[in-house]
Structure 1
């Protein structure tokens, strides 16, 4: 091989080695960056849920089970329930190391499902169980926190009726003093529907729905449906006119009749007085004339006078 060719080959080999070395360094750098990125993503993928709020309502006497996480104890590190009631605060907790705490001592307890998922059990739910339940749980890879507002269901008092409003027939359906709010619906559609929700004391809610009826609606077939979480079945009411309710058209009719009767009474009374006055005038005009009658001397005096003459 010629010196120039040897030099060119050596240069080429050196150049290839440099390129290979550079490629190797680039590959290691890329792998390192990939590992670092994977590490960062792995750290960022740790799941954290902070104070997710839930509102739950239960019927009196029911058994309640609250879950804080769907993780099993193979993944869980600990779970703790902080309970704030009207008359006391307490907590119940358990850890994977076997440590437990229970300052409630009132029937509430931590239990596990067949899949080793933890849940809080509350037997025979009553008003004493109403409050705020805060759950904190930690597991491999993250933690979950929940705030659960617990309420007890109270059925509303229901009623339905028909009434006149601005010379129009209106159907009213009312669910009063329920917790939570009831839902109201109608079997027919009307000209307009209004829904009013009123929040009363201690969280009791009143719902009132008004349906303005069209002229072609048969009120006998009109129905109001009320649904509430407390009931197993919906309630159906047929609105009727209230007892003692007088439709607006009857009022002016009665007034006109009363005025007519009063006028007729006074007219009849005046006619009777006029007839009496006419009869009085007639009797005075037809009375016979009086005649002058001489005094007649008594018979006994006459006989006495005659006898005195003869004597």
Structure 2
């Protein structure tokens, strides 16, 4: 029992100490691009003021003021952070055009003749998402809250049980996408409501059934065109292939075969004609010679 009691006391002491350390931190939310002013504890008889900046990303920096020297100084702080007024009058810190890189812890420490005081801030930068609403290829409403910080909340009118999709970016922003699926085909008008710390927005859209058909046409028309081109290519290929086959099967043109018998057949009629002509010539010659022989002489036998 003693051990249990000591354990409980230690737990309570640690919890109280942690609460005391975090109770003095004030959270300040600023929309990106706006200016922010952080104040110090109001005190008189200020001897020294120091602003300590510890951002989430990057190195720490500091701004200081010494009343005895009436002089200010800074270490590694950008020009976007400076004194809002005169430090001896009001040592407030101004951050111009707040960016995501300014997010972090800011501490003002004041040293006075009455003692030391501090004030702590946790600066949170808000990034409003870019809201878009459109119809997808299936005729459903699609709502997107892009690059918001923190992540936006999306709801529908009428209500929808769709589960949103989240995508985290390297700079700390988040994109949320939600699809509305209508249970009734007669339901066409939907409203997307985006809730965010930087401001709420809403948009409405009407996704007609014709939108779905027209989106499908964007898919079918290229497919039909591609099918026609493929068919023409196949027809041309087979036609070209058939012409080549026909050209290959056509018998080659060759010279007629020459046989020696043909020469004999061509020469033989001429030889017969010459022989006959010679026979006739000889007969005529004999007759002529017979007529020219003197009377009383006969041709030799």
Task: Say which one has the larger Rg.
Answer: 2
> TM-score if structure 2 supplies the norm length?
0.47
